[in-house]
Amino acid sequence: MISRKNIILITASVSVFFEALDIAIVNLAMPLIQEQFKLANDQVQWLQTLYVLLYGGFLIIGGKLADVMGRKKVFMAGAMLFLLTSLGAALSDRFAMLALFRATQGIAAALIMPSALSIITNTFTEQRERSKAIGIFSSFAAIGSGSGLSVGGLIATQFGWQAVFYINIPVITLALLAAALYIDRDVSSSQRRLPDVLSGVLISAILVALSYMIHLAGSFRHHVLLILTLAAGTTLALKWLIHRLNTQQEPFIQFSLFRAGQIITGNVAMVLLGAFFTGFLFIASLLLQNNLQFSAAQAGLMLFPFSILSAVVGKVMLPAVLKRFDPFQTAIAGMLLMVMGACALLCAMSFGYNLVLLLISFACVSGIGIATCFTTLTVICVQPVPESQHGLASSISATAYFLGAGLGLTLLSACIDVHAVNNNVTKLPVVMLMLYAFAGTLALMVFTVRRNRIVA
């Protein structure tokens, strides 16, 4: 018989599995959504951009709300919102409605992730038991993210794009029932002050406005007044945000955390990693289905082995590598793999979509690179801070990743749309991907050289 603790672990892990799955699963359904709603590439990308920007903007808030209001309440509220927005997205008959539900789904995911982790750390109190539980929880998240492309392709081809949202409903319903029955009631918190939700809303609004300005930049002459209005509003919102962060008793983000150069470098690299990897998945989906005329299922099956490779790298190989090499050395190697993957993709496009080069590209990026980079950059961002602030530091690094994903994808999509022919991907967006990865590699290398000089 399954113990109560293990039921709680399964409930939290399955919920975060579907939240992680949802980020990737929509990618291979996007060409079908694009076809139904007659959308250009730079329009359909808003499904991902809004999701990751609001996820990133509300992730820290989700963690703080779990501490103040109770982890069970926040988890169940997030899961219920995720369920309802999944249903709303599946039933949408207009793209604007679908985008709205998708954006709200990002907020729901930001409530689920930190509260689920908090539930696990408070259920498993013995150190060894807790470490094992967190490892299982993290594996579910990694497998969900890695398998999203292949699962999304198969489901979308067989049952339509709506099914990638419907699939969440029965599982999240079971998770809600299990949470209600098995997770302990929240203990009254001594911390009564609500987190600075307004600052999180301001960050999300500023980034969505910036993304929309990038989206409009290609037709600047036709939208001069709107762009100038957005720019003025964004500037005022940014000033207000900085004022709040400097004057709040418990600010949304503590600037003191960024005094260490290692944390700044790690988060800059995390922003660029988010921009690169989310953009790569978007381009891979469009290229396989629009350029090469693969079905979503065929594209998903082609990418599935690299999901398995990523899980093996993250779970088996990377811990051994980090015992022998410095996190910065490992992160640089991971970023160089990203550069190589983009180069291989560019070469594949230059030589008639050579299959071997395409597979090398997917192996470098989706197979080895992302598992290596995300883990080591998280270590880099967390390492210099006191243990009591590890949770906040890791939340900030995850936020940096998702905010980079949103802004990077918007910039990339604008470039794709300007140079696309019949929604086919051209080489310029891939060059932009290469620049994202190269910039991340350069930032890590510069810090490593400076650090070694100081030590010497």
pLDDT digits over 195-239, tens only? 677 887 888 888 888 878 877 766 667 778 888 898 999 999 999
Contacts for 91-96: CB closer than 8 Å, 24+ residues apart: 91/162, 94/37, 95/33, 95/37, 95/39, 95/43
Identify whether residues 47 and 95 lie together within a single domain: yes
List, as one string, the DSSP characters of 213-282: HHHHHTTGGGSHHHHHHHHHHHHHHHHHHHHHHHH-SS-SS-GGGGGSHHHHHHHHHHHHHHHHHHHHHH
Number of folded domains that form the chain = 3
User: Of 224, 251, 278, at which residue does a domain stop?
Assistant: 251
On whether the CB atoms of residues 279 and 408 are closer than 8 A, the answer is: yes
Q: Domain for residue 263, yes or no?
A: yes
Arithmetic mean of pLDDT over the chain: 84
For residues 31-51, give the mean pLDDT. 85
Tens digits of residue pLDDT in 391-401: 677 778 888 88
Residues 204 and 304 in one domain: no
pLDDT at 190 over 80: no
Q: What is the pLDDT of residues 43-73, one digit of tens each?
A: 888 888 889 888 888 888 888 888 788 889 9
Cβ atoms of 273 and 334 within 8 Å: the answer is no
Same domain for 235 and 367, yes or no, is no
In terms of domains, do 275 and 170 share one?
no
CA 344 from centroid of its chain's CA atoms? 24
- Domain annotation covers residue 190: no
Whichever domain contains 426, its CATH number is 1.20.1250.20
**Residue 189 is assigned to a structural domain of this protein:** no
Domain that holds residue 209: 196-251
Tokens standing for 382? 């967390």
Identify the pLDDT of residue 144.
Answer: 73
User: How far is the C-alpha of 176 from the C-alpha of 390, rounded, in Å?
Assistant: 28
User: Residue 159 above 70 pLDDT?
Assistant: yes
User: Using CA of residue 49, residue 51, residue 53, residue 54, what is the dihedral sign?
Assistant: positive
Angle, CA 58 vertex, CA 389 and CA 173 arms, to 5°:
105
Q: Which pLDDT tens digit goes with each residue over 228-279? A: 898 999 999 999 988 888 887 777 777 666 777 888 899 999 999 999 998 8
Q: Which residue has the higher pLDDT, 293 or 144?
A: 293
Cα 105 → chain centroid? 13
